[in-house]
Amino acid sequence: MPVYILDSAGLFRISLINSEIMFTTNEAVNEVVNENEKLIVNSYIKNSKLKVLEPQKDVLKLALNIIGANPKLAEADISIMALALQLGEKYDVTVITDDYELQNALALNNIKCKGIKTIGIKKIIQWTYRCTGCGRYFKRPFEICPYCGSKVRRKPRKIKDKTG
Largest CA distance in the chain: 57
Q: Supply the range of the domain harboring residue 131.
A: 123-161
The answer to whether residue 164 scores a pLDDT higher than 60 is no
pLDDT of 68 reads 65
For residues 85-98, give the mean pLDDT.
94
Domain harbouring 72, CATH code: 3.40.50.1010
**152-161 β-sheet, strand order:** 137-138, 123-131, 152-161
- For residue range 28-80, what is the model confidence (pLDDT) as tens digits? 999 999 999 999 999 999 999 999 999 999 998 888 877 765 667 888 999 99
pTM for the model stands at 0.80
- Please tell me whether residues 137 and 66 are part of one structural domain: no
One domain for residues 147 and 86: no
Residue 91: Cβ-neighbour burial (10 angstroms; 0-12, 13-18, 19+): middle
The answer on 102 and 50 residing in a single domain is yes
pLDDT of residue 73: 81
Do 135 and 103 have their domain in common?
A: no
Contact 88, 158 (CB under 8 A): no
- DSSP SS3 for 5: strand
